[in-house]
Amino acid sequence: MTDEKPSNFIRDIIDEELAAGKHSQIVTRFPPEPNGFLHIGHAFAIGVSYGIAQDYKGRFHLRFDDTNPAKEETKYVEAIKEDLKWLGADWGENLFFTSDYFQQLFDWACLLIEEGKAYVDDLTPEQMREYRGSLTEPGKNSPFRDRSAEENLELFKQMANGDFDEGQKVLRAKIDMAHPNMNMRDPVLYRILKAHHHRTGDKWKIYPSYDFAHGQGDAIEGITHSLCSLEFEYHRPLYNWFIENLPVPHTPRQIEFARLNVEYIVTSKRKLLQLVNENHVHGWDDPRMPTVAGLRRRGYTPDAIKEFCERAGVAKRERVNEYALLEYCLRQDLEDKAIRRMAVLDPLKVVIENFPEETEYYEGPNHPADEGRGVRKVPLTREIYIERDDFMEDPPKKFFRLGPGREVRLRYACYITCTDVIKDADGNILELRATFDPESRGGSTPDGRKVKGTIHWVSATDNVEIEARHYEQLFTKADPDDIEEGQTFLDNLNPESETTLRCFGEPELANAQAEEPIQFERKGYYVLDTDSKDGNLVFNRSVGLRDSWGKKQGK
């Protein structure tokens, strides 16, 4: 990774404004809704906003947009805070909630009413859609648009007192029902919601819309640059209209950038919630989910995610990033960080007939490129397990692993030669017999002969049994929404996205720590799963040693 920060159009704007003396300090924010878990797209957005605040020695705010109590919970607030901390974002003392500003927003709504810029509307949601018009036809004014300021103010206060049912009335801005931007056609400022709020309890019966709340929240906090994803570009005129028509203490600037899109991934909160609620996955932190919690459980690191986001880059136009790039960034990060251990995932027993009855121990480095990380002791016994695909009964010329009469090196230990193949009545291989060269202890011999093949192994009698969970993409198509008529994105779910193996690892794996990256030598990178208990070790494969998914897709 490099410390040099790439230039982009947002930084160019900030540089110009700083040169013109417009700001004394850059202030950015991340405004999540506490109604779900963060995903990789949010991680990208956090990286943009927090990265700019850091690089310009500014201030970063975390503000929860808690304006919809029907869907929000404290558990999501805590989960989001934990995810941000894990990603490395530090908001310090700058933790805010839109609910902190409910009274101020209410007062400003009353001011708009008094100035004839807002009105209480009695239209039903269906009627509002009908009156709104279309992209090619202007809307038409509500019959309730010309109420007096006094009547509107009284009705609005009655709404706040809970005198009306949900959906019976809303407060709308009075802008222009013929405006070419649909967001400017008298948008809703407040709606009635008689739901318990996780912070304010039952105090409020009305709640502000996101469009009305987030710009004013920015202004109250002194945000200089409100960095949003590209879909908010068409909301910007409304954002600016509120700022211009209210006595806000600061004037933030909204800038939009393209979201992070990745192959084989959905980031729609509605779809992620559907996956969880319909049990297509095992929860928000399922290692197949693109949530920060899921990526973390799978073994992704903050550095790998940050590197991926930086490589994806900040842009003005939507694009889709290859999933292989995400795996590449993780693989590069784990190469340096992961300790090495041996595990056999598809075991085939080998009996070394001339090996002593007692156990011998060999040293294996914890990391081949870093002697300072020490070594561990690996037990070798008369019976061992090797990978089944490390043996072929009739091997081709360029197969350098084990075969009848062939000699290979057991990693860190010695040379063995296969002497016999034991099969069942159906011809299935049950186990192998072998001999070892006592002179080859340590992996070389006095005569200096070379052995082309080196394989990993685990003692069959001195090991730990483990459960290895392997994951492929949750969807079979690069675009999960690539569907035929009558289908949904769920029709593209990959039935083989999760497989479980019962296998064996060297004893040292019993000391694995949470979130400690481990390379199962020659197999891939793994991490201890939270389901692990004493006597039942569970490891998730984070990524293979090579781009197996890219190869499978013909890339």
**For 328-386, what is each residue's pLDDT tens digit?**
999 999 999 999 999 999 999 999 999 999 999 999 999 999 999 999 999 999 999 99
Does residue 60 sit in helix, strand or coil?
strand
Is the pLDDT confidence value at 428 over 70?
Answer: yes
Query: What residues contact 60, with CB distance under 8 A and at least 6 apart?
Result: 27, 28, 29, 30, 49, 50, 53, 54, 89, 90, 91, 92, 94
Query: What residues contact 554, with CB distance under 8 A and at least 6 apart?
Result: none
- What's the CA gap between 210 and 220, in Å, rounded? 15
- What's the CA gap between 159 and 363, in Å, rounded? 75
Asked if 541 and 500 count as a contact pair (C-beta separation under 8 A), the reply is: no
Of the candidates 467, 529, 470, the residue with the CA atom closest to the CA atom of residue 503: 467
Asked if 99 and 207 count as a contact pair (C-beta separation under 8 A), the reply is: no
pLDDT at residue 535, as a whole number: 85
- At residue 472, φ and ψ (nearest 5 deg) are -115, 180
Mean pLDDT of the chain: 95
Is the pLDDT confidence value at 186 over 80?
Answer: yes
Catalytic site residue from 11, 199, 269, 522: 269
pLDDT at residue 149, as a whole number: 98
User: Of 113-122, 231-240, 445-454, which gets the smallest average pLDDT?
Assistant: 445-454
Is the pLDDT confidence value at 170 over 90?
Answer: yes
Annotated catalytic residue 231: no
The alpha-helical segments, DSSP class H, found in 260-318 are 269-277, 292-298, 302-312
- What's the CA gap between 15 and 20, in Å, rounded? 9
Annotated catalytic residue 269: yes
Asked if 159 and 169 count as a contact pair (C-beta separation under 8 A), the reply is: yes
Asked if 27 and 223 count as a contact pair (C-beta separation under 8 A), the reply is: yes
Mean of pLDDT values over 454-471: 97
Does residue 345 sit in helix, strand or coil?
coil
Is the pLDDT confidence value at 450 over 60?
Answer: yes
Asked if 490 and 531 count as a contact pair (C-beta separation under 8 A), the reply is: no
* % of the chain residues with pLDDT over 90: 94
* Terminal-residue alpha carbon distance, the chain: 25
pLDDT at residue 443, as a whole number: 83
pTM of this prediction exceeds 0.75: yes
Helix pair 302-312, 74-87: axis angle to 10 deg: 80
pLDDT at residue 397, as a whole number: 86
pLDDT at residue 534, as a whole number: 85
Does residue 269 sit in helix, strand or coil?
helix
Pairing outcome for strands 375-380 and 537-544: unpaired
pLDDT at residue 283, as a whole number: 96
- What's the CA gap between 299 and 326, in Å, rounded? 13
Query: What residues contact 261, with CB distance under 8 A and at least 6 apart?
Result: 41, 267, 318, 319, 320, 321
pLDDT in tens, 272-325: 999 999 999 999 999 999 999 999 999 999 999 999 999 999 999 989 999 999
Annotated catalytic residue 33: yes
- What's the CA gap between 205 and 122, in Å, rounded? 17
Is the pLDDT confidence value at 554 over 50?
Answer: yes
Does residue 168 sit in helix, strand or coil?
coil
pLDDT in tens, 26-67: 999 999 999 999 999 999 999 999 999 999 999 999 999 999
Is the pLDDT confidence value at 437 over 90?
Answer: yes
Mean of pLDDT values over 126-139: 96
Is the pLDDT confidence value at 551 over 80?
Answer: no
- At residue 88, φ and ψ (nearest 5 deg) are 100, 5
Asked if 364 and 412 count as a contact pair (C-beta separation under 8 A), the reply is: yes
Mean of pLDDT values over 137-164: 98
Asked if 56 and 48 count as a contact pair (C-beta separation under 8 A), the reply is: no
pLDDT at residue 547, as a whole number: 63
Task: Label residues 243-252 b or e (16+ Cβ within 10 Å = b).
Answer: bebbebeeeb
349-to-384, 410, 461, 484, 504 alpha-carbon distances in Å: 6, 14, 11, 48, 11
Token couple for 523: 């197999």
Catalytic site residue from 11, 259, 349, 477: 259
248: left (phi over 0), alpha (psi -120 to 50) or beta: beta
pLDDT in tens, 46-56: 999 999 999 99
Catalytic site residue from 33, 310, 335, 467: 33
- What's the CA gap between 28 and 224, in Å, rounded? 6
Asked if 148 and 118 count as a contact pair (C-beta separation under 8 A), the reply is: no
pLDDT at residue 1, as a whole number: 41
Is the pLDDT confidence value at 5 over 70?
Answer: no
Q: How confident is the model at residue 444 (pLDDT cuts 50, 70, 90)?
A: confident
Query: What residues contact 507, with CB distance under 8 A and at least 6 apart?
Result: 379, 462, 463, 464
Query: How many helices (H) and strands (E) are present in the chain, helices listed first?
Result: 13, 27
- What's the CA gap between 381 and 506, in Å, rounded? 12
Asked if 509 and 518 count as a contact pair (C-beta separation under 8 A), the reply is: yes
Asked if 163 and 136 count as a contact pair (C-beta separation under 8 A), the reply is: no
Calculate ∠ Cα 497-503-504, nearest 5°. Answer: 140
Handedness of CA 311, 314, 316, 320 (dihedral sign): positive
Is the pLDDT confidence value at 553 over 70?
Answer: no
pLDDT at residue 549, as a whole number: 46
- At residue 487, φ and ψ (nearest 5 deg) are -100, 170
pLDDT at residue 268, as a whole number: 94
Token couple for 457: 């192994």
pLDDT at residue 194, as a whole number: 95
Q: How confident is the model at residue 2 (pLDDT cuts 50, 70, 90)?
A: very low
- What's the CA gap between 27 and 221, in Å, rounded? 9
Of the candidates 453, 337, 469, 451, the residue with the CA atom closest to the CA atom of residue 387: 453
